[in-house]
């Protein structure tokens, strides 16, 4: 296995108590860091997916030591993974090496002109400013940028890295949920 991307759609009737009961304490502690209920639900599903993948590979998730990088990126020794969620979609990326993944729901929103100037490189801003669909383009560029940042293990507060061009090796594609909402999914191995 070089890498695997697992995608799940969160359902309205998600059994939060069942997922919470099935998660190792260190995974549940990570989920409980989310303030908003929808983020908590998505996080529960993502970490449950990770637990299930560990079990499939013969790894006891209750015996794994969850560690955090200096910017808070969770990791496990010898098992590179990354999690992302947005809207109804939850993504788990498992790889043989450090990786980053992001997903952004494409919604009709006003352009992010001020934010684009702060977070994109000059080249990326040219692409954004030339776009006829700025919300879509912003989220495309942002999902690529965030996948890169997550792989690097640095937070989005590192504006020096934010302003660099995102590597062309980031893979991006559009996906849809069952309600027809579109998302940009980007990953970097």
pLDDT band at residue 61 using 50, 70 and 90 as cut-offs: very high
Three-state secondary structure call for residue 161: helix
The pLDDT score that the predictor gives to residue 186 is 97
Radius of gyration of the chain, Cα coordinates, nearest whole angstrom: 17
Q: What is the pTM of this model?
A: 0.93
Across the range 155-183, mean pLDDT stands at 86
Strand partners, 173: 185
Is 78 a residue whose pLDDT tops 70? yes
Across the range 130-152, mean pLDDT stands at 93
Is 1 a residue whose pLDDT tops 70? no
CA distance 101 to 93: 7
The pLDDT score that the predictor gives to residue 159 is 61
Model confidence pLDDT, tens digit, residues 95-106: 999 999 999 999
Show the tokens assigned to 187.
Answer: 């990953």
Across the range 75-98, mean pLDDT stands at 96
Cα-Cα-Cα-Cα dihedral sign, residues 53, 32, 44, 187: negative
* Neighbouring residues of 131: CB distance < 8 A, sequence distance ≥ 6: 137
Across the range 7-19, mean pLDDT stands at 93
């Amino acid at each position: 296995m070089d890498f695997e991307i697992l995608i799940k759609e969160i359902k309205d009737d998600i059994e939060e108590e069942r997922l919470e009961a099935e998660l190792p304490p260190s995974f549940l502690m990570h989920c409980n860091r989310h303030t908003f209920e929808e983020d908590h639900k998505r996080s529960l599903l993502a970490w449950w997916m990770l637990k299930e993948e560990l079990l499939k590979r013969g790894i006891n998730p209750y015996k794994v030591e969850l560690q955090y990088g200096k910017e808070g990126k969770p990791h496990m020794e010898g098992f590179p993974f990354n999690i992302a969620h947005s809207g109804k979609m939850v993504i788990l990326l498992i790889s043989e090496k450090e990786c980053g993944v992001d997903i952004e729901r494409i919604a009709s929103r006003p352009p992010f002109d001020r934010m684009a100037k702060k977070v994109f490189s000059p080249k990326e801003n040219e692409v954004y400013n030339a776009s006829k669909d700025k919300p879509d383009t912003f989220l495309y560029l942002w999902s690529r940028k965030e996948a890169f940042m997550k792989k690097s293990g640095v937070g989005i507060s590192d504006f020096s890295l934010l302003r660099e061009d995102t590597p062309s090796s980031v893979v991006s594609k559009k996906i849809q949920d069952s309600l027809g909402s579109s998302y940009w999914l980007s990953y970097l191995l």
